[in-house]
Amino acid sequence: MTKKWETYSVDSKIIEEIALKNNISLLLARILVNRGIDTDEKIKKFLYPSLDDLYDPYMLNDMEVAVKRINQAIEQKEKITIYGDYDVDGITCITILKRFLDENGIIVDYYLPNRLEEGYGLNNNALQKIKDRGTTLLITVDCGISAYDEIEFAKSLGIDVIVTDHHECPAVLPNTFAVIDPKRPDSTYPFNSLAGVGVTFKLIHALSINMNLPSESYLKYLDIVCLGTVADIVPLVDENRVIVKYGLEYIKKTKNIGLKALINISGYSEIDSSAISFGLAPRINACGRMGEADIAVEMLLTSDESIAMDIANKLQEKNKERQEVEKGIMADAVAKIEEAKMYNDNAIVVGSDKWYHGVIGIVASKITELYYKPSILVCFDDEIGKGSGRSIDGFDLHEALNAASEHLQKFGGHEMAIGLSVEKNKFNDFKDCIIKYANEKITEEFLPVIKIDAEVSTKEVSGKTIQDLRLLEPYGENNMPPIFMYKNIKVDSIRTLSNDKHLKLNVKDGNIVFDAIAFNMGDKKDSIRMGDKVDILFHLEINKFNGRETIQLNVKDIKKSL
């Protein structure tokens, strides 16, 4: 697929001033300016984050009320239950709050809904079970902000509810005891992009202050908070950057038996944000997608090494199972799309009664990436279909669902990702409505855009540059690894790997040769030949292999030089 290359427009004089004033390289200064980090205060806070940069948790609305209610429950020996979500964010929320309360002598229960049977969020059947267990105080984590009816039902059962969440808030908040969400319309909290586990961490921080506990009483959970924050793909800036920067250090010395087992089974020797995103998080998410999220919570709560390792092995198997299911759905979806030439429209909507609901969100992401069109996949169970959709920059998929809402049972989400339920006999009408909406809204071809941080030469492709760039880590949402452009460099050798899936190249400028790897670009093997002059976009990295470290260009796009 053709991609559009765009270079940031920058003022070289400003870059020189920033580099000189902050004693950093011109290249690093340029990258910071590209990211809008262009004042002394912003630069210092970004490059050298400190635990002192964590905000006072009592700045969150209703925090004081929540702490007071929890203290009341502790004093009166009430039964407390934590109600979570089945993804990594929700699982880590439950883990840190239960561990904190348990370790401070407060025995609590938790409830995790089954993704396949109950779906996301609070439900009345679960609340009745929780009441029957004797609960009088319910603390939601990573959910609850839109659960009006369910919270009213809980109140009718005599359960007080404290909501802790991070999702977008409705115009009217639930009528409950306390609502802690940095996205509240009336919030004065300085940062509104915490993950659910970040909000739970703030609750623990506030309780620690109230109990006059040392800072380590809440900071020791940063390993698990880091795991959930990276997995939830929230922006790794501001307070999230502090959490992940220090959380990665806590992971290196983690005392969490379950996390150790998970790291061991993942095969990663070093844990950074990428290892969490592609190694740890998928294994935890897999159990939730397959309807067994409870075992991940058990793994992170256990103090028994053999139990932790047994569960980690189960997660490994669940992840393999999830990958196979996902692969089959992907192949089937692509076959349907190609056969019906659905790619000729500006949106793709495809359904089947043979798919598995737990993984269609992942497949929708891959379909959107493959065709660069908004896509919605729906799997049917009898007469009801559940769907997930992913969009592209510039197309609001949630607005598209609004336009087709008469055909839906329910839907939710935001501009880039949605979930829905649709009756089977209304699916075709829904599909036609979405495609008509997309064809009217998208009037020109959308191309994926790659933003280029800087054009570089041989001098900048160096170990010194890589060392400088480490100040930008940890990488993640809103702080991706910088992309560099090298123009008019010669292809010295080229071959394919993994059944023609990837390209392995050597590129040469004068007498200097660089290793390069181009993942998922095997289709370019016939258009790029040895001896060609090419322009390449790449991440600069160190490749560790057989005890050797070499500079490697991780290619993001490549084309022949003009």
Give tens-digit pLDDT for 18-45.
Answer: 999 999 999 999 999 999 999 999 999 9
Average pLDDT over residues 121-149: 93
Q: Smallest Cα–Cα separation from 230: which of 130, 88, 423?
A: 88
**Domain assignments of the chain as residue spans, ordered by start:** 4-10+451-560, 57-214, 340-441
Specify the length of the chain in residues.
562
Tens digits of per-residue pLDDT, 482-526? 999 999 999 999 999 999 999 999 999 999 999 999 999 998 988
Tens digits of per-residue pLDDT, 450-491? 999 999 999 999 989 999 999 999 999 999 999 999 999 999
Contact 330, 375 (CB under 8 A): no
Q: What is the pLDDT of residue 183?
A: 94
- 93-97, 134-138, 244-248, 519-523: least confidently modelled range: 519-523
Tell the CATH topology of 57-214.
Answer: inorganic pyrophosphatase (n-terminal core) (3.90.1640)
Contact 201, 223 (CB under 8 A): no
Tens digits of per-residue pLDDT, 256-288? 999 999 999 998 888 999 999 999 999 998 887
C-alpha gyration radius of the chain: 25
Distance, CA of 562 to CA of 559 (rounded, Å): 9
The CA dihedral of 32, 36, 41, 45, to the nearest 10 degrees, is -60
Instruction: Report which of residues 50 and 116 the model is more confident about.
Output: 50
Residue 291 predicted with pLDDT over 80: no
Place of tokens 């929320």: 93
Residue 91 predicted with pLDDT over 70: yes
Average pLDDT over residues 352-374: 92
In the chain, the amino acid numbered 18 is I
Supply the CATH classification number for the domain 4-10+451-560: 2.40.50.460
Q: Please state the separation of Cα 288 from the chain's center in Å.
A: 15
Helix (H) or strand (E) holding 318: helix 305-339
Residue 116 predicted with pLDDT over 70: no
Q: Which residues pair with 411 in a beta bridge?
A: 420
In the chain, the amino acid numbered 168 is E
Which residues, including other chains, have CB under 8 Å from residue 62's CB and lie 6 or more apart?
Answer: 178, 179, 180
Q: Which residues pair with 348 in a beta bridge?
A: 375
In the chain, the amino acid numbered 40 is D
Distance, CA of 13 to CA of 19 (rounded, Å): 10
The CA dihedral of 334, 412, 241, 272, to the nearest 10 degrees, is -30
Domains 4-10+451-560 and 340-441 share a fold: no
Distance, CA of 224 to CA of 339 (rounded, Å): 45
Average pLDDT over residues 186-208: 97
Average pLDDT over residues 57-64: 98
Q: Smallest Cα–Cα separation from 184: which of 198, 168, 164, 200?
A: 168
Distance, CA of 232 to CA of 212 (rounded, Å): 31
Residue 187 predicted with pLDDT over 80: yes
Average pLDDT, the chain: 93
Both tokens of 146, joined, read 């839109």
The pLDDT > 90 percentage for the chain reads 82
**Confidence class of residue 446 from pLDDT cuts 50, 70 and 90?**
confident
Distance, CA of 81 to CA of 392 (rounded, Å): 39
Average pLDDT over residues 107-134: 87
Q: What is the CATH architecture of 340-441? A: Roll (3.10)
Contact 489, 534 (CB under 8 A): yes
Q: What is the pLDDT of residue 522?
A: 92
In the chain, the amino acid numbered 252 is K
Average pLDDT over residues 247-257: 96
pTM above 0.85, yes or no: yes
Q: What is the pLDDT of residue 1?
A: 72
Q: What is the pLDDT of residue 392?
A: 92
Residue 115 predicted with pLDDT over 80: no
Strand order in the sheet with 417-423: 348-352, 375-381, 384-390, 417-423, 410-413
